[in-house]
Structure 1
Amino acid sequence: MTPLLADPTPGLLRAAPIEPAGHTMTHARLLRYLEIKVHHLIQDQDWDSIRIIGGYDRTAVISRYEKTGKLFNIERPTAEIHGRDLIVKAFPGADYVQHYALIIATYLAMTGRPVGTVTYQPPEQEECRTALDALDLELDGALVIVGWGLQYLAPENGVWTRGPGYAWQRTEVAGRRVVYLGFLHSIWGDVAGRVVARLAELGACDVVYVGKVGSLTPGVEPNAWLATGNTSLVRGAMVSWDDFFGDYAAAHDGVRSGLHVSSPSILLENRDWLAQHTASYAFVDPEIGPMGAAARQAGIRFGYLHVISNNLATHYAADLSNERHSDVLRQRAVLVDRIRTIITGRLTASPTHPLGESR
């Protein structure tokens, strides 16, 4: 079944559920993944219509399933009730709005509820761009480290300064300004590319993204390896960038390097998709490609150093449905220490932009 169907109302698309039997996650784990994402108002009751739009609105109804126990990426899309109709507001990004619409439609189908009620409205480019105007920092040639695990990468005694939807702190490593930047909301897919573009506007010379990728290579155990590289397949085109790490990260034990493919939604990564990509590509996630493309366009360096969190080609106990399990957290703590060591070593070995030097 196609995930995109035209809706009679101009500007809207109807989200059809994916076929769970064809997905790379098992039925039970896919449902669990959806349950931890879907707003409680949708899980608790039926609606005549559910429309997903771009809009960052923390005054709307906040999901009771928002994440706890971490500083960043804790916010889910919010909901606004209009009688028997529900408007779901996701941070403005084409990939994120589509992804969340597919999540809702698939959840409803898997729980035996009507799915024809779900539509989504892709946000306009200008709306997506201006959504990040609130991000305002004096970077002046800094390396900006953005993404996951920042509370463990940043100095333990550092103080986080909060802005609207984000928080940051500064430090200095090997004579280099370093800014740790975390977002409370998701920077899924094309949103992440606009984050890099905005950071370049604000004066960043380098951006490093720390996050999680899926492996497309059979036999690569989750939460035991790091991933890096400098090329991604983005909407059918190969994109390479000036890599902050060069060959440095890949030379370390426990780090795998390879070609990356950008996917707008985990829901679209079924077994047919895997068969088309597994021979040529090593990793998948939604953000790396758009970020690398934005860095190349802006003329700054970009690098990623990610935990391999799941494997689409081989089923393991750990996957995207149980990331808060104690064993997973323990393994990832070891990998975060390794990430911090590699970033520090890269700056110490080659501080190419000394403190105070701007572009």
Structure 2
Amino acid sequence: MSLDFGEPDERLLPFAASHSESLRSIYSEMHDVKSEVVITDHNSHSMGDSLDRYVDMRVDGDLLDWAKRENLSVGVEGIYPNHLGDAIRAGSLTPLVSATRRRRWANGIRALYARSSGDRLMVFVAPGRDYVIHNAELIASYMQRRNDSIQTVTYYPKAESSVATWTRLLGFQLDRLVIIGYSDLLLQLLLHRGASIESRQENEYYVVVRARFAGGASFTLLSVRFSYWGSMARHLASSLLRAGAETILYCAKLGTIDPGRSPYDGLYIPTRYFIGGQSGRSYEVVAPMNPVAEAFPALATGPHLTVATMMRETRELVSSARSLHICSVDNEIGEIAYAFAAEGAGRGFSAIHFATDSPAGLGDQRSRSSDLTTSRTSRDRASRDRSLDEVANVLFDFLRMY
């Protein structure tokens, strides 16, 4: 295995020039969350034998194996990779990447692996609590198969709660209606349906496009360049509400647990929201106004479950969710609904999603064609494009009425 050492390629990883004092402050409080990391065996997971393959696709196994040979401890930290410029330039961190991962070694979504000045391999990810735990569980699962274990998992709560501040979200002009999720792809589909662009703004964290249909109100498509997986989605939604958003439409993908439906079979517009807690028990969130479901009631799909990480999607969980007539599962929808319950009274939230996988319950046959390891095949990409076209049709009809 070959490793790349030294200064990062700035074209691949545009590190911030320096830490301002305000940026340092968001990492001033740290929580040890290693005790929350759960390793789920593939025999009980909804993906079955494909779980190990999924983990191998998501971690840099070559680097983790190298760390074991070098007797390096491994830790995961919720520090946004682009905030590490000072530490890298000072030499206290050395970015690492295996040759097999060279092309996608780091960005705002994926993890940055770096050797610290001590005998440690650190994995840095965007600072959402759920995302930190998700990555830690991926790595812990990989390491357990090699009789090894993760040493530290650190979360910085101020970095997550102040996301609007350090990403400068509130500096953008936003409309009363904001679309998040597949915003960049949906923009092109809406332009083909007659929308026109009024303005485009961006920074290293967002692309903000304001558009409208003739005779209609303007709307904002917000493309996010960092991971707002899980709990971070709640903080992002809260920030948008504080910025004046009256309606948020979240358009993305989920997993179907409806035995009668397959991936890419129609759309999902949930109307009830459950969140799976760390204890394994779920609780229901007070549902906000759902303007798309109200406009098109035939498209409503009922209860939905949000979990912190797909690593927790066990067969038992799926079967339990089905007993509550829950038909879909993801990592963000319930968290966004939670933000509305807390501070979005009288405002509207709709999720317009399509399914890309089908987690199995107890007694279900496991099919690799319906799990998260196949989403990059040409067949799946074509199915995704058709589903995005369905989402765009719903948006087109809704936005003309808005």
Structure 2 length normalisation: TM-score?
0.75
User: Is contact 2:205–2:225 with CA below 8 Å preserved after alignment?
Assistant: yes
User: Is contact 1:139–1:203 with CA below 8 Å preserved after alignment?
Assistant: no
User: Where does residue 86 of structure 1 map in the other structure?
Assistant: 121
Which amino acid letter does the alignment assign opposite residue 264 of structure 1?
Answer: A
> Is the aligned partner of 1:264 residue 2:298?
no
3-state SS of 2:293 partner: coil
CA pair 66-259 structure 1, distance change in 2 beyond 3 A: farther
Among candidates 113, 122, 131, match of residue 96 of structure 1: 131
User: Where does residue 6 of structure 1 map in the other structure?
Assistant: none
Alpha-carbon distance in structure 2 between the residues aligned to 1:227 and 1:85 = 44
CA pair 293-336 structure 1, distance change in 2 beyond 3 A: same
> Can you list the C-alpha shifts for 1:219-257, whole angstroms capped at 9, x where unaligned?
311122211122211243212111121333442xxx561
CA pair 24-183 structure 1, distance change in 2 beyond 3 A: same
User: Where does residue 66 of structure 2 map in the other structure?
Assistant: 45
Alpha-carbon distance in structure 2 between the residues aligned to 1:43 and 1:149 = 34
User: Where does residue 312 of structure 1 map in the other structure?
Assistant: 359
CA pair 291-16 structure 1, distance change in 2 beyond 3 A: closer
3-state SS of 1:102 partner: helix
User: Is contact 1:207–1:302 with CA below 8 Å preserved after alignment?
Assistant: yes
* Structure 2 residues not aligned, in runs of 5+: 1-29, 89-94
3-state SS of 2:74 partner: strand
Further displaced range: 159-168 or 262-271: 159-168
Deviation at 1:294, TM superposition (A): 0.8
User: Where does residue 10 of structure 2 map in the other structure?
Assistant: none
Among candidates 231, 235, 247, match of residue 206 of structure 1: 247
Q: How does 1:286-305 map to 2 (within 5 A)?
A: 286-296=331-341, 297-299=343-345, 300-305=347-352
Structure 1 length normalisation: TM-score?
0.83
User: Where does residue 80 of structure 2 map in the other structure?
Assistant: 56
Deviation at 1:175, TM superposition (A): 1.4
User: Where does residue 17 of structure 1 map in the other structure?
Assistant: 39
User: Where does residue 330 of structure 1 map in the other structure?
Assistant: 382
Alpha-carbon distance in structure 1 between the residues aligned to 2:171 and 2:268 = 29
CA pair 249-55 structure 1, distance change in 2 beyond 3 A: farther
3-state SS of 2:40 partner: coil
User: Where does residue 260 of structure 2 map in the other structure?
Assistant: 219
Which amino acid letter does the alignment assign opposite residue 276 of structure 1?
Answer: S
> Is the aligned partner of 1:127 residue 2:159?
yes
User: Is contact 1:137–1:202 with CA below 8 Å preserved after alignment?
Assistant: no
> Can you list the C-alpha shifts for 1:329-353, whole angstroms capped at 9, x where unaligned?
10111111111111110122x32xx
User: Is contact 2:79–2:124 with CA below 8 Å preserved after alignment?
Assistant: yes
3-state SS of 2:394 partner: helix
Root mean square deviation, CA, Å: 2.6
* Structure 1 residues not aligned, in runs of 5+: 1-8, 352-359
CA pair 152-190 structure 1, distance change in 2 beyond 3 A: same
3-state SS of 1:261 partner: strand
User: Is contact 1:138–1:203 with CA below 8 Å preserved after alignment?
Assistant: no
CA pair 62-56 structure 1, distance change in 2 beyond 3 A: farther
3-state SS of 1:45 partner: helix
Among candidates 26, 36, 51, match of residue 48 of structure 2: 26
3-state SS of 1:23 partner: coil
Using the aligned pairs only, state the percent identity.
Answer: 22
Which amino acid letter does the alignment assign opposite residue 57 of structure 1?
Answer: P
Deviation at 1:202, TM superposition (A): 1.7
Further displaced range: 138-147 or 187-196: 138-147
Which amino acid letter does the alignment assign opposite residue 40 of structure 2?
Answer: I
> Can you list the C-alpha shifts for 1:106-158, whole angstroms capped at 9, x where unaligned?
12223x2412x34312332x221123312234445431110126324343686
Which amino acid letter does the alignment assign opposite residue 268 of structure 1?
Answer: R
3-state SS of 1:242 partner: coil
Further displaced range: 96-105 or 162-171: 162-171
Which amino acid letter does the alignment assign opposite residue 121 of structure 1?
Answer: T
3-state SS of 1:20 partner: coil
CA pair 12-196 structure 1, distance change in 2 beyond 3 A: closer
Bigger radius of gyration among the two? 2
3-state SS of 2:81 partner: coil
3-state SS of 1:136 partner: helix
CA pair 205-24 structure 1, distance change in 2 beyond 3 A: same
User: Is contact 1:77–1:90 with CA below 8 Å preserved after alignment?
Assistant: yes
3-state SS of 1:87 partner: strand
Deviation at 1:62, TM superposition (A): 7.4
Alpha-carbon distance in structure 2 between the residues aligned to 1:290 and 1:65 = 31
CA pair 145-181 structure 1, distance change in 2 beyond 3 A: same
Further displaced range: 146-155 or 292-301: 146-155
